């Protein structure tokens, strides 16, 4: 795992001003994108990212009647060489964040700075250069590989799209090396995806993501479709590759145990907002946001004796619709601490005042008016 300078990361509040490099020319932008970033420096900075999907009525003359607020103003940094885990329940917007960072969806508002360049405003050659450096691993290994292409074609496709990365003659060799790197037999190059099991397919997907030597890999639930015994293999492979290729991961998942295992820092999302963000120990051992606490306490732990000593918080009701989120704090409708103030005043993501000076692990960003430390993971 990347040894991060945790101190400096924790101390800096997330609102650091990012200098917008006003790239006069595409050349400058491309040059900036190709420049290396020091380990521990922010490589990706997300600021107030918003994505609203319009809800329309009518067939011919569409009229907007509302919007699904999938992502509603989130900010975070991804540091070079680290793994940032994003957890949350379905509908919290974590997958939309992945799509926005991959520029598969156009952001409604906000910025994503990659090495100082706002990639939401790039196009053409500069955008292509960014795409080369940010890759994605998908959730479902059964649908993310084109069934009519051979493994060699699938892993080699990045080279066809970015021919400057590898000259034509060397591609086959590169593909075979990639297969070897992800632990598959290089002789499988002419096989088709349906001849592989789920875990093997996910390795193929990872090999495709590695082909262009990217700096960032966005993993959207990369192991949730796999069997338990295969999950561990893939997780170990991903950790090994991170060390080998100096990758930064944005690891999106709903499985809190896996996120803790692989992440250096963790962000908890709820209804399009970041509820809490901090290092893995801060979030798991010293959570201050009630939602994080409830989420952690609900995780079934495969150890009945440890289970009995744990406090369980069972939330009532379901996640409200992102088309019509509650006013004020989004979590207040399910929160046991909710008071008048929560429905009127939206809590900001910041280190709670009472913990700022404390210097304890509770001093991390949490969007709650009544942030309070509570240990729900360890048996009392």
Nearest Cα to Cα of residue 373 among 211, 360, 200: 360
Shortest gap between Cβ of 246 and other proteins (angstroms)?
6
- Decide if residue 306 touches other proteins (CB under 8 A): yes
Query: Dihedral sign, CA of 144, 319, 44, 117?
Result: positive
Q: Restricting to residues 236-265, which ones interact with other proteins according to CB under 8 A?
A: 236-237, 239-240, 244-247, 254, 256-258, 260-262
With CB under 8 A as the contact rule, the residue among 298, 323, 346, 350 that binds other proteins is 298
Shortest gap between Cβ of 26 and other proteins (angstroms)?
15
Asked if residues 326 and 236 have their Cβ atoms less than 8 Å apart, the reply is no
Q: Restricting to residues 182-211, which ones interact with other proteins according to CB under 8 A?
A: 183-185, 190-192, 194-197, 199-200, 203, 205, 208, 210-211
Binding mask 83-112 for other proteins (x = CB under 8 A): ------xx-----------xxx--------
Nearest Cα to Cα of residue 136 among 216, 42, 57, 35: 216
How many binding residues for other proteins (CB under 8 A)?
102
- Decide if residue 51 touches other proteins (CB under 8 A): no
Nearer to other proteins, 18 or 121 (CB): 121
What's the chain's Rg over C-alpha atoms? 22
Nearer to other proteins, 42 or 205 (CB): 205
* Per-residue burial over 301-326, b = 16 or more CB atoms within 10 Å of its CB, e = otherwise: eeeeeeeeebeebebeeebbebeebb
Q: Restricting to residues 308-327, which ones interact with other proteins according to CB under 8 A?
A: 312, 314-316, 318-319
Q: What element of type H or E holds 190?
A: none
Cβ neighbours of 282 (radius 10 Å): 23
Nearer to other proteins, 39 or 369 (CB): 39
Q: Please give the Cα distance from 298 to 316 (Å, whole number).
A: 12
- Decide if residue 146 touches other proteins (CB under 8 A): yes
Shortest gap between Cβ of 313 and other proteins (angstroms)?
9
Shortest gap between Cβ of 297 and other proteins (angstroms)?
8
* Per-residue burial over 171-209, b = 16 or more CB atoms within 10 Å of its CB, e = otherwise: beebbbebbebbbbeeebbebbbeebebbbbbbbbbbbb
- Decide if residue 68 touches other proteins (CB under 8 A): no
Stretch that binds other proteins, among 75-83, 106-114, 290-298, 342-350 (CB under 8 A): 290-298
């Amino acid at each position: 795992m990347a040894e991060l300078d945790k101190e400096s990361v924790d101390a800096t509040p997330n609102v650091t001003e990012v200098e917008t490099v006003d790239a006069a020319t595409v050349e400058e932008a491309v040059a900036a994108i190709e420049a290396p970033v020091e380990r521990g420096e922010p490589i990706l900075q997300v600021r107030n990212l918003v994505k609203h999907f319009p809800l329309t009525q009518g067939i011919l003359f569409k009229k907007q009647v509302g919007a699904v607020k999938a992502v509603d103003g989130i900010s975070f940094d991804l540091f070079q060489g680290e793994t940032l885990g994003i957890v949350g329940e379905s509908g919290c917007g974590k997958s939309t964040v992945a799509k926005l960072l991959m520029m598969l969806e156009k952001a409604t508002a906000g910025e994503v700075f990659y090495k100082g360049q706002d990639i939401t405003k790039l196009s053409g050659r500069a955008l292509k250069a960014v795409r080369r450096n940010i890759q994605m691993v998908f959730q479902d290994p059964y649908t993310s590989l084109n069934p009519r292409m051979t493994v060699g074609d699938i892993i080699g496709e990045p080279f066809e799209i970015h021919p400057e990365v590898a000259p034509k003659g060397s591609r086959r060799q590169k593909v075979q090396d990639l297969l070897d790197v992800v632990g598959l037999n290089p002789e499988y190059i002419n096989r088709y995806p349906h001849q592989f099991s789920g875990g093997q397919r996910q390795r193929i997907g990872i090999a495709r993501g590695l082909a262009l030597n990217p700096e960032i890999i966005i993993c959207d639930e990369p192991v949730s479709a796999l069997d338990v015994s295969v999950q561990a293999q893939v997780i170990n492979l991903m950790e090994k590759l991170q060390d080998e290729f100096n990758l930064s991961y944005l690891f999106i998942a709903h499985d809190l145990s896996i996120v803790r295992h692989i992440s250096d820092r963790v962000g908890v999302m709820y209804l399009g907002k970041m509820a809490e963000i901090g290092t893995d120990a801060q979030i798991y051992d010293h959570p201050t946001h009630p939602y994080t606490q409830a989420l952690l306490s609900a995780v079934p732990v495969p150890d009945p004796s440890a289970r009995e000593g744990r406090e369980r918080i069972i939330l009532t009701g379901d996640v409200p619709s992102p088309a019509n989120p509650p006013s004020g704090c989004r979590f207040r409708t399910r929160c046991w601490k909710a008071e008048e103030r929560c429905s009127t005043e939206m809590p900001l993501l910041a280190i709670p005042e009472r913990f700022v000076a404390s210097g304890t692990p509770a001093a991390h960003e949490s969007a709650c008016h009544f942030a309070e430390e509570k240990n729900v993971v360890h048996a009392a």
